[in-house]
């Protein structure tokens, strides 16, 4: 049996990123997957990105991951969302050709020299004295390794529910994985039961597009990857359509609620509040007379359409009836039923910030199995866990990302410090430093980390450094170039106040009615710079005040993160701490005061007690 440094269990969005990261960092890697034909499968919505998820994809790209490049090659529609709002919430969202996305990712995996793919179910994990030794597969074969990343998604003891029809399978009818859950029980890993759901798919040849609002892509396409040439990304796009449910839809659902596995308590798993089924929407938002429904193409070479906004596990006959009440879908033919899936996952507070199990050295975990939901959340964790599994195998220090550095930092900190009692979905509101964590500057925030970890290649990093220097140079230049009253005719044409004397160009950029690009006509010696650089110059100058204030908040945050807590601290002996805080702190053993303060059940007064405690301990030592 060939020796591998790292084993990746799973070929979903987490597994693909983890495997590529390890192989590209030079460690010998094998990926085990239940079915090689399901690699990078999108069992639910046919899109990548969207509010906050688009940020994650950009950050994955900045660290050297693959998702951004893969969607840039396989998207069929692209839109920049929230452009009417501030840059902190601008988010790219692309419709993917699902089949092409999976094929392209498989091609990339198969072309990676240090990576082997193997169709086989991992059934057991071998651990001795708290250290990983290797994994067993269903054939009984043992694969020794230095590190492993578990990326098993929604397959663990999963079952699918459509009305009272319950099938013991994984997503899309694929085989589920049972035995590994028993192995985790033996390893003292605490598990949870979550659920998620998906809508029916319908035949696009049977819908009436004239009864729905067309949703075209952007005229000028912005790629996800900082490495994708924008001029080469422009292409003919496929539209989506917007329609709505109505009272007839709602009545059918209300009349059949008792047949829903959710409302008849057949389903045991906990679902995501922020990803409700249509049944949930009818019950929770009973006052609403209609809900948005987006009809999205699943690909260019299929007529199947995804009915976004109507995820359901109602019985088949109810689905047939309810979808046909929606304008445009009156004669639609279902190609696949909607269904709910419940599955085992772990409580991620058992993991460190590097996504390694606290009590099993060398064993890492990522993706939906950590209690998150979404392709982007999974890929982000897969990348971080993959990088750290490789660093572990190379005996190098782990790479971590904190809440002030990226949405990936927010995602992992929330999951590992607070845990989640439902599938965790990323949202901009979760990121307190979101003005700094924009999707447009993900490379400036994270590419140095990806390079230091050994994943971002040297030539790419040099291109990045050149971009960074060009931004700083241009910000400096517009601070020195003076705009004079000679520009008043231009300013009048922009409905902007005239100048009485010379002001630095940057002061004009700050005016709400002006921006860096608009001022080009009066900025004669402007150097030729890329759209990316121009965007950075504009945002950094326009939002300078907000950015400064948020940077000060981050400095305060970092001061608390730097206040380390001893590994062997005994919280039960610290007087002044509340009982709940003692229990939670002892269970989590946080690395520093900052993380301690974010644990659910630790109050600000408990944090103050801890601060006083470590100060006293330092004075006495």
Ligand X SMILES: Cc1cc2nc3c(=O)[nH]c(=O)nc-3n(C[C@H](O)[C@H](O)[C@H](O)COP(=O)(O)OP(=O)(O)OC[C@H]3O[C@@H](n4cnc5c(N)ncnc54)[C@H](O)[C@@H]3O)c2cc1C
Site for ligand X, rule CB under 6 A: 9-15, 32-35, 38, 43-44, 121-122, 151-155, 171, 177, 180, 196-198, 275, 311, 341, 367-369, 373-375, 378, 425
Q: Identify the three-state secondary structure at position 520.
A: helix
Q: Are 37 and 465 in contact (CB under 8 A)?
A: no
Rounded to a whole number of angstroms, the minimum distance from the CB of residue 275 to ligand X is 5
Taking the least distance from each CB to ligand X, the nearer of 318 and 602 is 318
Beginning with the edge strand found earlier in the chain, give each strand of the sheet holding 122-128 in spatial order: 122-128, 131-137, 142-144
Q: Where does 84-200 show beta strands of DSSP type E?
A: 91-96, 115-119, 122-128, 131-137, 142-144, 147-150, 159-162, 165-167, 191-198
Taking the complex as a whole, the smallest distance from the CB of residue 177 to ligand X amounts, in Å, to 4
Rounded to a whole number of angstroms, the minimum distance from the CB of residue 128 to ligand X is 21
**Residue 466: what are its φ and ψ, rounded to 5°?**
-65, -40
Residue with tokens 């492993």: 148
CB 361 within 8 A of CB 146: no
> Least distance in Å: CB of 40 to ligand X?
8
The residue assigned the tokens 């004295």 is: 129
Please tell me whether residue 121 adopts helix, strand or coil conformation.
coil
Q: To the nearest whole angstrom, how small is the minimum distance from the Cβ of residue 226 to ligand X?
A: 23
CB of 38 to ligand X, least distance (A): 6
3-state helix, strand, coil in the chain (%, to 5): 40, 20, 40
**Nearest-approach distance from CB 6 to ligand X, in angstroms:** 15
Please report how close the Cβ of residue 448 comes to ligand X at its closest, in angstroms: 27
Tokens 């019950």 belong to: 283
Residue 270 gets which letter from DSSP? Answer: B
Closest CA to 53 of 511, 534, 523, 430: 430
Residue 99 CB, shortest distance to ligand X, in Å, is 15
Which is nearer to ligand X, 64 or 309 (by Cβ)?
Answer: 309
For residues 373 and 420, which CB has a smaller minimum distance to ligand X in the complex? 373
**361 DSSP 8-state letter:** B
Beta carbon nearer to ligand X, 95 or 373: 373
Q: How far is the CB of 428 from ligand X (least distance, A)?
A: 15
Taken in order 309, 170, 368, 348, is the CA torsion positive or negative?
positive
Provide the minimum distance between the beta carbon of 340 and ligand X in the complex, in angstroms, as a whole number: 7
DSSP string, 169-180: --GGG---B-HH
Cβ distance to ligand X smaller for residue 114 or 368 = 368
Residue closer to ligand X (CB basis): 431 or 509: 431
Pairing of strands 339-346, 29-33: unpaired
Instruction: Using the minimum distance from each CB to ligand X, give the nearer residue, 153 or 590.
Output: 153
Instruction: Name the residue nearer to ligand X (CB basis): 139 or 493.
Output: 139
Question: Smallest distance, Å, CB 424 to ligand X?
Answer: 10
Nearer to ligand X, 280 or 443 (CB): 280
Choice between 336 and 518, CB closer to ligand X: 336
Contact 19, 453 (CB under 8 A): no
Q: b/e per residue, 74-107, with b = 16+ CB within 10 A?
A: bbbbbbbbbeeeebbbbbbbbbbbbbbbbebbbe
Question: Which of 177, 447 has the CB closer to ligand X?
Answer: 177
Rounded Cα distance between 92 and 583, Å, is 42
Query: What is the 3-class SS of 287-311, one letter each residue?
Result: CCCCCEEEEEECCCCCCEEEEECCC
Smallest gap, in angstroms, from Cβ of residue 305 to ligand X?
16
Q: How far apart are CA 561 and CA 569, in angstroms?
A: 17
CA distance 48 to 390: 26
**6-9/147-150 β-pairing:** parallel
Query: What are the residues facing 242 on neighbouring strands?
Result: 213, 294
Q: Give the whole-angstrom CA distance, residue 212 versus residue 244.
A: 9
Which residue lies nearer to ligand X by CB, 183 or 470?
Answer: 183
Q: Which is nearer to ligand X, 12 or 223 (CB)?
A: 12
């Amino acid at each position: 049996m060939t020796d591998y440094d790292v084993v990746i269990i799973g070929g979903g969005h987490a597994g693909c990123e983890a495997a590529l990261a390890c192989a590209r960092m030079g460690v010998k890697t094998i990926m085990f997957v239940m079915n090689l034909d399901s690699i990078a499968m999108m069992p639910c919505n046919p899109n990548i990105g969207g509010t906050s998820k688009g940020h994650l994809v950009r950050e994955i790209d900045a660290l050297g991951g693959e998702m951004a490049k893969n969607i840039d090659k396989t998207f069929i529609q692209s839109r920049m969302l929230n452009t009417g709002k501030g840059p902190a919430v601008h988010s790219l969202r692309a419709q993917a050709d699902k089949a092409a996305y999976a094929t392209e990712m498989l091609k990339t995996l198969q072309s990676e020299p240090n990576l082997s793919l193997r169709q086989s179910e991992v059934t057991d994990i071998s651990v001795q004295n708290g250290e990983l030794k290797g994994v067993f597969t269903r054939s009984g074969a043992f694969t020794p390794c230095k590190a492993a990343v578990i990326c098993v998604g929604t397959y663990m003891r999963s079952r699918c529910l459509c009305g009272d029809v319950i099938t013991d399978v994984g997503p899309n009818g694929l085989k589920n994985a049972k035995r590994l859950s028993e192995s985790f029980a033996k390893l003292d890993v605490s598990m949870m039961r979550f659920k998620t759901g998906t809508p029916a798919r319908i035949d696009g040849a049977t819908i009436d597009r004239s009864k729905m609002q067309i949703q075209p892509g952007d005229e000028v396409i912005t790629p996800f990857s900082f490495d994708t040439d924008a001029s080469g990304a422009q292409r003919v796009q496929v539209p989506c359509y917007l329609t709505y449910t109505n009272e007839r839809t709602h009545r059918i659902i209300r009349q059949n609620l008792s047949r829903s596995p959710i409302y008849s308590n057949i389903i045991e798993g906990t679902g995501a509040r922020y990803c409700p089924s249509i049944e949930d929407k009818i019950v929770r938002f009973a006052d609403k007379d209609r809900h948005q429904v987006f009809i999205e193409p699943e690909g260019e070479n299929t007529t199947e359409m995804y009915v976004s906004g109507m995820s359901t596990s109602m019985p088949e006959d109810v689905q047939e009836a309810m979808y046909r009440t929606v304008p445009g879908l009156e004669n639609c033919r279902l190609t696949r039923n909607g269904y709910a899936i419940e599955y085992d996952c772990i409580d991620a507070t058992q993991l460190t910030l590097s996504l390694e199990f606290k009590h099993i050295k060398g064993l890492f975990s990522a993706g939906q199995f950590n209690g998150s939901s979404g392709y982007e959340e999974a890929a982000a964790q897969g990348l971080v866990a993959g990088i750290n599994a490789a660093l572990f195998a190379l005996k190098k220090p782990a790479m971590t990302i904190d809440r002030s550095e990226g949405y990936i930092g927010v995602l992992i900190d929330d999951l590992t410090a607070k845990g989640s009692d439902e599938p965790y979905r990323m949202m901009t509101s979760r990121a307190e430093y979101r003005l700094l964590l924009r999707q447009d500057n993900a490379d400036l925030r994270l590419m140095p980390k990806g390079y230091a970890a050994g994943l971002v290649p040297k030539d790419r990093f040099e291109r990045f450094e050149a971009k960074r220097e060009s931004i700083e140079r241009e910000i400096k230049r517009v601070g020195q170039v003076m705009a004079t009253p000679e520009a008043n005719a231009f300013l009048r044409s922009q409905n902007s106040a005239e100048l009485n004397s010379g002001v630095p160009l940057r002061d004009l950029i700050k005016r709400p009615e002006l921006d860096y690009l608009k001022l080009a006509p009066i900025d004669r010696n402007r150097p030729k710079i890329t759209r990316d650089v121009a965007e950075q110059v504009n945002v950094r100058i326009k939002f300078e005040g907000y950015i400064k204030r948020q940077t000060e908040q981050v400095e305060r945050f970092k001061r608390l993160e730097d206040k380390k807590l001893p590994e062997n601290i005994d919280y039960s002996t610290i007087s002044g701490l509340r009982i709940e805080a003692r229990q939670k702190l002892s269970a989590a053993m946080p690395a520093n005061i900052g993380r301690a303060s974010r644990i659910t059940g630790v109050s600000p007064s408990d944090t103050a007690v801890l601060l006083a405690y470590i100060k006293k301990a330092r004075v006495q030592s």
